[in-house]
Each structure stands twice: as structure tokens, then as C-alpha cells.
Amino acid sequence: MNVIERVVEPGFCSGCGLCAGLCPSESLVMGFDSRKDLVPTLIGQCSRCGLCLEVCPFSGEGSGIDDIGNERFGDVPGISLDRVSGFYLSIWEGHSSRGDFRKRGASGGMASWFLTRILEEGLADAVLSAGPDGSRPGIWTFIKAERAEDVISQAGSVYHPVPIDRALKKILLEKEYKRYAVVALPCLAYGLRKAMKRLPRLKEKIVMLVSLTCGLMPNHRYSEYVSLESGVLPENMSHINFRYPPGEADSSNYRHVAFSRDGKQGLPVPAKGLPDLLWRHEAFIQGGCLICDDVFGETADAVFMDAWLPEYKKDIRGNSLVICRSPLAEKILRDGAAESECKVREIDHERLMQSQYETLLVKRHLLAGRLARKEEEGKSFPERRVAMDREILDKYGKYFRFCEKLKAAIEKTRLETFEDLEVFHHLIDPLLEEEMEMRLNGESPFGGNE
């Protein structure tokens, strides 16, 4: 059995690209399926070596997330462990105070600043992070940054699956010895850890994993939708700034802005509203993300996220939370604070969990109901650390049925022209009133106060 049979066909792929990047026979290539999920396709003869399954984060093969976390961080002096967030040496809150990192970053500029320090201190020779693919408009890829100015140019979140296959092939084939820090979402970080155990050369080259928290990853169809809402035809879209600054004093209502291939900027699309509703109700989401239970990148050395806390709601400059798991990651942060390059303070674990309440609700609590729904339908799925819970499925039965109705509605139309967008809204708008009524009646996990 290979990754196509076990992971892709049942709908559990997150589009990370590890299998395609490491396949010895080069028989896998990344592309979009009929739902616009990013998945590998078999183009040659599979050798049945099993490597694709060993490295895939959703295959169920090899060491689990908890095992790898324990191997990597379990013996760190002073380390703590939580069953949801994983290991943590220290947790921090604040923002970068150096240059324009905060202004150009997605949430306080801490991740970009941290990666820049890694390069400046010679801890790595280059950073691999997500950015628009200049050779393929409308596509995102992993870009190598060797200078501080290159790191800051890639600042900002990407709400689109980004495969690492091309970057992996390049770094494994390069003759010179270079060490990399890789910015990865939780699933990719976990898969890379598994791959590093299997391939010594990869372990030598990747010296630090930096993760971002992840709620659920939209597929390519979401980007097509955003592009149309922004006034740019998907066929003419170059890229999207998914974290354009808010237009009012609400840090969580950032904008999505599409850019055309001739450099013209589209209209800002507020995240609050239909984009947020789509996310919360499983629409346009990569299949694997709907069974993922890792919010905090539990196998990464350091993790960065927005500080979604009440006191920062009106601060559109952005604020970050940072989990340090390795002593080296913590040293970088403490040194930066001592040198006034970042303004941070250490916080307790409860505040971390408070800041990510809605992400945890979507990705952990409701996962128990999604798994119960799959069992009810007679569908098998990889073993998860979150136990399926029929009570959650029953309690929010109307919510889960609404998710199915919403997904069925949006799959009835293409999203290639502005006429398609009109049809899309015609189908979706009646559902918005239904969703509001569901929240007001306490039948939604999201309540009715928004």
C-alpha cells in the first residue's frame, strides 16, 4: 500500500508535499484534485518502498506526535508537558521592537525577527518559509532566504496549502553543506521529524523547526473565491496578501487582498463575515486538516501565533505568543529581550490556552464530533489522540448538518468568473440567516454574541 491508497483516496491529505519530495522513484507529483485540495498524484511505477507512508503525517505509520515530542524535548531540564499544547520550556507574549518587523509581520513580527536572529547568529545558513511562487502565479511554495531582508520580505501568513517537495529535492541534492531553519505548519513539522529519523542527511541539514499554530488550512478553491471577492479573476491572480492590515480598530478583522499579474491591488476582503463563516463550518478545507489534532506544532522547537486576547483586540499593530521548547529557542528569545529587540514577558500556560480558544474549539473539541460522524457513516480514519465523542455530535447535530449543507451548496458552482461569484452568493446568502438563527438559539458551538 502507498500514500495514494491509504491517505489521498480516503481524503486525509493535508498537501504538505513530503511524499512527493522524498519518493525515491520520483513517482509522485503534487497537484489539485477535483475539490481543489492539493494532493500527490502517482505518475510512474510505485516501487512499494513504503517511504511515503513513513513520512506522511496522516498515514498512521512510524512514531506518533507524542513519541517524537518526548524524544526531542522530554529530557530538557525544566520542561513541562500539557496533553493539548505539548512540551513547553517557556511561553512568551509581546512583539518585536526592532525596525519594521512588527509593521510587516502578521502578528507582532516575532517570527520574522526570530528567524532573522537565527541567520545573524550563524545558527543556520538559510530559512525555508512559504511565499508566492514567482514562476507559477497563484501558487505558493517554499522559498530560501539567506539574508535578513529576504526573511522580512516573506513575512505574513499564507492561507493556502504550500508543498515542500521542490525545496526538499533541492536541498538534498545540493553539493555544498548548508543548514536550514524551516517554518512549517504542525502537520509538516511532524512529517519532517519522521523524515529526519529515516534520512540522516535530512537531519543534518534541518537544524531548527519553527511552527505556526494552525486552525484549519483552506484549499486552492478558497483562494479562487477570495480573488473574485477582491475583484481579480483567478486566472489573472498573482498572489494574495492574506493578512492585510484591518480597516478599523479590530485586530482580528484583517483583510485578504488579491494582486493581479500586472501588479494591481484588488479590494480588501474583511476576514470577519463570509470568510470566517466558511472557515468555522469546514468549507474549502483540505481533507487532512479536518482530522488533525495538532494545534501548537508540538514537534517544533519554537511556535508562533497571534495573541488573540481581549486587551489586544483594538491593537492592530499585532502581538504574538511564542512557545519555546528547546533551550536554544529560549536563549534566542531571552537574548533578544535583553537587547531590546523584542518587548516580551513570560506568561503562564492558561493564558496561552485562552488566546487560542476558538482554534482549539474548531480543531480539537469539534474534532471529537467529526470523528463520531465518520464512525456513524461507517468510514475508517487514522487513529487520533482526540477520542470520538457521540455526545458532541448529538449536542451540535444541527451545526454538523449545517456544515454538510454549506459544503454541498458551494460545490454546486465554479469559482472562475464574477458571474460564478454571483451564483455562489445566491446559494450561500440564505444559509447566512440560518447560521445566525442557529447561534442565537444556542445550537452552534460559537454562540450568538458576534
Q: What grid cell was written down for 383?
A: 487513529
Tell me what the mean pLDDT of segment 5-19 comes to.
Answer: 96
The domain in which residue 65 lies consists of 3-218+290-357
Tell me what the mean pLDDT of segment 370-387 comes to.
Answer: 94
Question: Which range in 64-73, 144-153, 243-252 is most confidently predicted, on average pLDDT?
Answer: 64-73
pLDDT recorded at residue 448: 59
Tell me what the mean pLDDT of segment 270-288 comes to.
Answer: 93
Tell me what the mean pLDDT of segment 351-370 comes to.
Answer: 96
State the CB neighbour count (10 A cutoff) for residue 63.
Answer: 16
Split into its structural domains, the chain has a count of 1
pLDDT recorded at residue 20: 97
Report whether pLDDT(405) > 80: yes
Q: pLDDT tens digits for 233-270? A: 999 999 999 999 887 778 888 999 999 999 999 999 99
Q: Which helix (H) or strand (E) is 431 found in, with range? A: helix 418-440
Tell me what the mean pLDDT of segment 165-174 comes to.
Answer: 94
Q: pLDDT tens digits for 40-68? A: 999 988 888 999 999 999 999 999 999 99
Chain CA centroid to CA 284, Å: 14
* CB 205, CB 179: distance < 8 Å: yes
pLDDT recorded at residue 410: 87
Report whether pLDDT(99) > 80: yes
pLDDT recorded at residue 204: 94
Is 396 a domain residue?
no
* CB 413, CB 423: distance < 8 Å: yes
Q: What is the DSSP secondary-structure string of 21-43?
A: HH-TT--EEEEE-TT--EEEEE-
Residue 356: band (very low, low, confident or very high) from pLDDT cuts 50, 70, 90: very high
Is pTM, for the whole model, over 0.85?
yes
Q: What is the DSSP secondary-structure string of 156-192?
A: S---S----HHHHHHHHH-SS---EEEEE-HHHHHHH
Report whether pLDDT(329) > 80: yes
Cα distances (Å, whole numbers) of residue 185 to 19, 164, 352, 371: 16, 11, 18, 22
Residue 69: band (very low, low, confident or very high) from pLDDT cuts 50, 70, 90: very high
Is 35 a domain residue?
yes
Is 239 a domain residue?
no
pLDDT recorded at residue 221: 96
Cα–Cα distance, 213 to 193 (Å, whole number): 17
Contacts of 50 (CB under 8 A, 6+ apart): 2, 61
Report whether pLDDT(392) > 80: yes
Is 309 a domain residue?
yes
Q: What grid cell was written down for 84?
A: 493539548
Tell me what the mean pLDDT of segment 207-224 comes to.
Answer: 96
> What proportion of the chain, given as a percentage, has pLDDT over 70?
99
Q: Look up residue 213 and give its DSSP letter.
A: -
Average pLDDT, the chain: 94
Q: How many helices (H) and strands (E) does the chain have?
A: 19, 15
Task: Say which range, 85-89, 201-205, 282-286, 446-450, has the weakest mean pLDDT.
Answer: 446-450
176 or 13: which leads in pLDDT: 13
pLDDT recorded at residue 149: 83
pLDDT recorded at residue 47: 86
Residue 352: band (very low, low, confident or very high) from pLDDT cuts 50, 70, 90: very high
Report whether pLDDT(449) > 60: no
Report whether pLDDT(31) > 60: yes
